[in-house]
Amino acid sequence: MSFCLSPDCESIDEKLPSSKFDKEFTKKINLEALENAAIYKKLSEFDEKWLQNFYQIFLEYYNSILKESSIDIRNKICRDLNYYTDYVLYLIDEIINHYEQINKRNEFKRFRNNIRYQVKLMFPENENVKCYRDEKEHSFHAYIRKKLDDFCQNRDHLVSSVHSDIGKCDILLKYVKEQYDNFVKDDTCFSENNIQKEKIFHINDRCTLHDIPRTFSFSGCDNHEIQYRIKNIPLCPSEYISIFDNFAYFLSDYVGDIPNLSKIVEYTVYVSVVILGMSILFCILYKFSPLGYFLRNKKIKDEMKQNVNVDIMEMLENSSHYENIQAQNTPYHISYHKIQSS
């Protein structure tokens, strides 16, 4: 899936390093088969052979890091391998959710756990490569971060090509401007406060959505500048954020300061499970035990007695003798008005 949807941008993208890497890597691991299994439930396209192939291709790319002389490119390959690993694990979780049968679900959970274990082995602590596992939950934020990382690599590649061919400045300007328009629209804003605090979209000082002019600028081309609408992406106005999100933001500043929070959550879960278990046990005893039989019979008898009393009262109320007794016992209520003196 391309972040840039215009045909011109795609024609530029496909010739640039990040696009070449993604296209080649995803084709070799047959990512489409895994996506079909996770998204369209075409589970027949995903099996043990897919996983074995993934391990093999992954190791090829991991070992290729040493062949790159540029530290920036080495780090970029490492981030890409981490990204795709997170994405693969995310898709396998989606496959697990398709299965309602417990046995099949457990089978895929073991399958996923095995992948997690194997993945850790695939990121050995090699001092020469210096590419380590950085596990993150796959999300739309991760996708945007990947696209930002791709853009910066492609931008630097085009800048280096300009030094040998000044005529490529137009291509560089066009690419940077199109990517700027994709990332920074008029209504672009951060919906979550922690994005700014934690700088989620920050790769390095020259590749960050927290400093727009520095990220979407380049050297080597005179009279080629971009007019920036904003310098920093702002936090969304409160009216565009749900009440729940506002409440969550309010709590987030205080939750981290609560001592023994994990134990509190753990104890809460235990208490909830105990209460649920006692409720289920009570229902079973009420339904099947002698005590439950006694309580049900008593309840039925009480209801019958109450119904009989109601019927008797209705009969008495319809009796003229009962009406006379009631009339005798009812006090008189006489309305009055004060007499006005003439």
Domain extent listing, the chain: 7-240, 261-322
E strand or H helix at 47, and its extent?
none
Which residues does residue 190 pair with via DSSP β-bridges, in sequence order? 235
Average pLDDT estimate for 158-162: 89
Please tell me the predicted confidence (pLDDT) of residue 306.
58
**pLDDT exceeds cutoff 90 at 154:** yes
Question: Distance between CA 7 and CA 25 in Å, rounded?
Answer: 23
Residue 4, classified by CB atoms within 10 Å of its CB into exposed (0-12), middle (13-18) or buried (19+), is buried
Helices marked H in 99-242 — which ranges?
102-122, 140-162, 169-183, 193-198, 212-215
Alpha-carbon distances of 251 from 87, 231, 247, 255, rounded to whole Å: 30, 29, 6, 6
Q: In terms of Cα–Cα distance, which of 106, 103, 100, 180 is closest to 148?
A: 180
**pLDDT exceeds cutoff 50 at 328:** no
Please tell me the predicted confidence (pLDDT) of residue 190.
78
Structure tokens at 341: 């003196």
Please tell me the predicted confidence (pLDDT) of residue 107.
76
Structure tokens at 271: 């208490």
- The amino acid occupying position 199 is K
Please tell me the predicted confidence (pLDDT) of residue 73.
93
Lowest mean pLDDT among 5-9, 95-99, 227-231: 5-9
**pLDDT exceeds cutoff 60 at 8:** no
Please tell me the predicted confidence (pLDDT) of residue 125.
74
Structure tokens at 295: 């309580």
E strand or H helix at 206, and its extent?
none
Please tell me the predicted confidence (pLDDT) of residue 299.
60
Residue 20's pLDDT band (cuts 50, 70, 90): very high
Average pLDDT estimate for 139-146: 91
Residue 175, classified by CB atoms within 10 Å of its CB into exposed (0-12), middle (13-18) or buried (19+), is buried
Q: Which residue has the tokens 């000082």?
A: 205
Alpha-carbon distances of 192 from 2, 43, 200, 257, rounded to whole Å: 24, 36, 11, 20
Fill in the DSSP letter of residue 207: E
Please tell me the predicted confidence (pLDDT) of residue 195.
73
Q: In terms of Cα–Cα distance, which of 26, 45, 51, 34 is closest to 90?
A: 34
Question: Distance between CA 185 and CA 230 in Å, rounded?
Answer: 10
Alpha-carbon distances of 270 from 231, 274, 276, 309, 340, rounded to whole Å: 49, 6, 10, 47, 76
